[in-house]
Structure 1
Amino acid sequence: MIWAVIFDMGGVLVHMHASNALLAAYDALLGLEPGSLRMRLYSGPAWEAVSKGEIALEDYWREVGEPFEASLPPEFLGYRDNFFRATLDLATVRLAWRLRSRHPIGLLSNATTILARDIATEPRFAGLFDAVVISAIEGYRKPEPEAFLIAAQRLNLPPDACVLIDDKERNTEAARAVGMHAVRYEHALQAEWALRAMGVRVD
């Protein structure tokens, strides 16, 4: 039986299309191929290191942003510092709150330490999560099995009593490999019906 629901952040509770559009505009401004900034920011050794807590956030921004810093407008700092607050997927946040009345709710995210600050200061998340697992704090990233096991442990449940909602297939497959249930997220309504099909009570 599934007792707890674990949400991913980026691409689930936070939607990515506004972020992608903004980064595409910065690509055009800098004369880069579409997707260049997103690739530089969110893949590669620097991103993996900062999201596992191996380098400081300041060092990460220095490494990925320094070549473009003089050409980027001051507004880029607003994207960098407030991306999370600006792009909440409110339908999915509402789904999490509906589930909260019957199930423990967890968060499992590959993210930097700044996510902990953002969760603490976002009123729509106040009291939502029973467990928060952030890769930069724990030292493990999805799809490493340890990340899923830590999330289940923080909820005081075995993996097979938890379901992960994540937008990346590699993460849902890895969750299933450790015994966890998983839903490949597309949008809030699809996730809700997938949970109902698993016997999870939503309301």
Structure 2
Amino acid sequence: MTIPRPYDAVLCDFDDVIRFHDQTELNELERAMGLAEGTTTKVVFAPEVDRPALLGQITVEQWTEAAEAALALQVPREQARALVTAFVKAPVRVDDDVLDLLRRAQEHVPVVLVTNATLDLEDDLAWLGLTHFADEVVSSARVGVGKPDPRIYEIAAERAGVPLGRCLFVDDREENVEAARALGLTAVLFTDVSDLEAALAPLLG
């Protein structure tokens, strides 16, 4: 007797699920400048600063210039530039356990990256050796719409060739998970690899 699959595609976020940034140096800089830890990240990801980059409307260079200008309202321009540089150049790591689980899932169903990303995503994937990892990549900067807008989930399901209701969605942000659930996807909030492991268990056995 064949046990039916719980879903027919996995739609997975990239940053803070697969790729992680080490902001230790940035945090040290912020403390040295008398700023609260996380100040730079908050400014960089403020909607008015990052949204144009995540929709492919401006380059990464223009995004960082906008972030620098916004930070310069709090610290001298030279310090703002140092903070943004530390943010951009933060070391990255890939979670091999997450990749292993997703590769095992690919033996059964397509895996699609669904990420709010800049126009540099393809270069980033190539640098990490992940150009051909996913079956499809849906980047907000390339499709002109980002999570939690319903359209990006629809595009990802279309790329996978699977109805929305037959997709598992994995993301580290609650608002993105809730948006997916509202569309009928099975959605999991990622906090660590055990969340993905549990979500894939019915598929992997």
Secondary structure at 1:191 match in 2: helix
More displaced 10-residue stretch of structure 1: 66-75 or 155-164: 66-75
Number of the residue aligned with 1:128: 133
Secondary structure at 1:71 match in 2: helix
Query: C-alpha offsets along residues 51-78 of structure 1, whole Å, 9 cap, x if unaligned?
Result: 1122232221111124365236879647
Unaligned runs of 5+ in 2: 1-5
Secondary structure at 1:141 match in 2: coil
Query: What TM-score results when the alignment is normalised by the length of structure 1?
Result: 0.85
1:109 aligns with 2:109: no
Secondary structure at 1:87 match in 2: strand
Number of the residue aligned with 2:64: 61
1:36 aligns with 2:36: no
Q: How does 1:10-29 map to 2 (within 5 A)?
A: 10-16=15-21, 18-19=22-23, 21-29=24-32
For residues 25 and 78 of structure 1, do their structure 2 counterparts lie closer, same or farther at Cα, with a shift above 3 Å needed? closer
1:188 aligns with 2:196: no
Task: Letter of the 1:46 partner, please give it.
Answer: V
- Contact 2:40 2:84 (C-alpha < 8 Å) held by counterparts: no
Secondary structure at 2:19 match in 1: coil
Task: Letter of the 1:130 partner, please give it.
Answer: D
Query: C-alpha offsets along residues 67-90 of structure 1, whole Å, 9 cap, x if unaligned?
Result: 36523687964751564xx22222
CA shift, 1:139, in A, is: 1.1
Counterpart CA distance in 1 for 2:77 and 2:125 is 28
The structure with the largest alpha-carbon Rg is 2
Task: Letter of the 2:79 partner, please give it.
Answer: S
- Contact 2:26 2:86 (C-alpha < 8 Å) held by counterparts: no
Number of the residue aligned with 1:8: 13
Number of the residue aligned with 1:93: 99
Number of the residue aligned with 1:154: 159
Task: Letter of the 2:122 partner, please give it.
Answer: A
- Contact 2:118 2:141 (C-alpha < 8 Å) held by counterparts: yes
Number of the residue aligned with 2:52: 49
Secondary structure at 2:117 match in 1: coil
Count of residues in correspondence between the two structures: 195
- Contact 1:183 1:195 (C-alpha < 8 Å) held by counterparts: no
Unaligned runs of 5+ in 1: none
- The ranges of structure 1 where at least 4 consecutive aligned residues each deviate by more than 3 angstroms after the TM superposition are 72-79
Query: C-alpha offsets along residues 134-178 of structure 1, whole Å, 9 cap, x if unaligned?
Result: 111111111100011011111111111211111111111101111
CA shift, 1:189, in A, is: 2.2
Task: Letter of the 1:176 partner, please give it.
Answer: R
